[in-house]
Amino acid sequence: MSILINKNTRLLVQGITGNEGLFHTTQMFAYGTNVVAGVTPGKGGEWVLDGKVPVFDSVKLAVDATGANCTCIFVPSRFAPDAMFEAADAGIPLIVCITEGVPVQDMMRVRNYLDQKKVRLVGPNCPGLLTPGEAKVGIIPGDIAIPGSVGVVSRSGTLTYEVLYALKLAGMGASTCVGIGGDPVNGTNFIDVLEMFEHDPQTEKVVLIGEIGGTDEEKAAEYVAAKMTKPVVSFIAGQTAPPGKRMGHAGAIIEGGAGTAADKIRALEAAGVKVAKHPEEIPSLLK
């Protein structure tokens, strides 16, 4: 068992004929993900990946023809909100949006709509999902993780890769890795993923990778203290960041003294979470 994606996931890719979309679809397909369709308006009837994956003009047509139950979005930021609306209207239960730079106001409208439709969104501005040995949806490299029992949830893309590789070198595998993205308004938060890991029989331990800005890590700490029975290990990025300066992600900014690394580490440690000083320490803390 894994969370969100597995070998039964039927993946559709929006923006499949663009450079990014085609490159990463090729990687996902090579990993063994069941890519059943692509969507690019005006390109319906074409095929990609040497005739293995059909392209449709709309998500509805693609879903009707292939039974896709997950979509991965690689479209420019100005088109991403409409791509998410279209996927939700076509009845897709899981949307993974890789696109970065989606305006906050647009995301507030999208989030409100998807919540009403009871559609799960991961992202935007995220690396996506990886269930080692089964499926990958997004841009996480497939070869940096092995199957196992450690659930990984992260706000940072590159740190996700670093931690997965450190686990692999230590002979520890991941059940599923979820990159939730670092934007101020996103679809899935730490608590959502922690709850899924808590109820997943294959996940025995959890790694939470946070960063400065916002209060998501503090809320996650409260959830861990109240609800989690599985051990959680964490790392917080941005411990040397100056206040008032945005670091990397749109959500990674310390404002009015809130959102500092020290605040987050204090909250997590108070909840019984072991916090690593460097990502490479995580495997030894899990042992």
What is the per-residue burial (b if ≥16 Cβ within 10 Å, else e) of 150-189? bbbbbbbbebbbbbbbbbbeeebbbbbbbbbbbbebbbbb
Contacts of 131 (CB under 8 A, 6+ apart): 2, 3, 4, 5, 6, 175, 176, 177
The Cα–Cα gap between 21 and 23 comes to 6
Question: What 3-state DSSP class applies to 168?
Answer: helix
Strands 47-48 and 53-56, by their bridges, are antiparallel
> How many C-beta neighbours within 10 Å does residue 199 have?
10
CB count within 10 Å of CB 212 equals 30
Amino acid letter, 152: V
What number of H helices and E strands is found in the chain?
A: 9, 14
Active site residues: 249
Distance of CA 127 to CAs 41, 58, 188, Å?
A: 24, 24, 13
Alpha-carbon distance 244 to 231, whole Å?
A: 33
Which two three-digit tokens encode residue 263? 């605040």
Q: How far apart are CA 212 and CA 266, in angstroms?
A: 13
Residues 6 or more apart whose CB falls under 8 angstroms from that of 213 comprise 182, 238, 247, 249, 251, 252, 253, 254, 255, 259
